[in-house]
Amino acid sequence: MTPTTAPAPALPNKRPAAGPPDRLRALTGRIGGQNLSLLAALVVVAGVFGLLNPAYLSVANIAVIGETVTIAGLLAVVQTVVIICGALDISVGSQAGLASVISAMAFTATGGNPILGIGAAIAVGIAAGVVNGLIIVYGRVNAVIATLATLAAYKGLAQLVSNGRAQGYVLGDDFFVFLARGKLAGLPVMVWILAIVALGVHLLLKFTDIGRNIYAIGGNDTAARLAGIKINKYLISVYALAGVVAAVAGILLTARTGSGQPVSGSEGLELKAITAAALGGCALKGGKGGVGGTLLAVALLGALENGLTVVGVNSFWQNVAQGALLVIAVVIQQWRNGERAVGLPT
Q: Spell out the alpha helix ranges (H) of the chain.
A: 20-31, 33-52, 59-84, 92-109, 114-138, 143-162, 174-181, 189-207, 209-219, 221-226, 231-257, 269-279, 291-310, 315-337
pLDDT at 200: 96
**Mean per-residue pLDDT of the chain:** 84
Most confident of 49-63, 136-150, 322-336: 136-150
Q: Are 241 and 123 in contact (CB under 8 A)?
A: no
What is the rounded distance in angstroms from the CA atom of residue 61 to the CA atom of residue 55? 7
Q: Could you tell me how far CA 275 lies from the centroid of its own chain?
A: 9
To which H or E segment does residue 260 belong?
Answer: strand 259-260
Q: Could you tell me how far CA 254 lies from the centroid of its own chain?
A: 19
What is the rounded distance in angstroms from the CA atom of residue 287 to the CA atom of residue 155? 30
User: For 11-51, how does the pLDDT look when each residue is reduced to its tens digit (9 = 90+)?
Assistant: 445 445 555 555 555 555 555 667 888 888 899 989 999 99
User: For 99-114, how does the pLDDT look when each residue is reduced to its tens digit (9 = 90+)?
Assistant: 999 988 888 888 778 8
pLDDT at 176: 80
Q: Are 96 and 271 in contact (CB under 8 A)?
A: no
Distances from the Cα of 10 to the Cα of 6, 7, 46, angstroms: 12, 9, 56
Q: Is the pTM of this model over 0.75?
A: yes
pLDDT at 3: 44
pLDDT at 182: 86
Average pLDDT over residues 263-267: 67
pLDDT at 1: 42
Most confident of 22-26, 178-182, 337-341: 178-182
First to last CA, the chain: 66
Most confident of 30-34, 207-211, 329-333: 207-211
pLDDT at 24: 52
Lowest mean per-residue pLDDT among 112-116, 126-130, 171-175, 287-291: 171-175
pLDDT at 95: 94
- Residue 178 — pLDDT band, cuts 50, 70, 90? confident
Partner residues linked to 187 by β-bridges: 184
Distances from the Cα of 301 to the Cα of 25, 53, 336, angstroms: 28, 18, 22
Q: Are 55 and 80 in contact (CB under 8 A)?
A: no
Distances from the Cα of 127 to the Cα of 55, 105, 134, 171, 240, angstroms: 44, 18, 10, 27, 7
**Hey, what amino acid is at 101?**
V
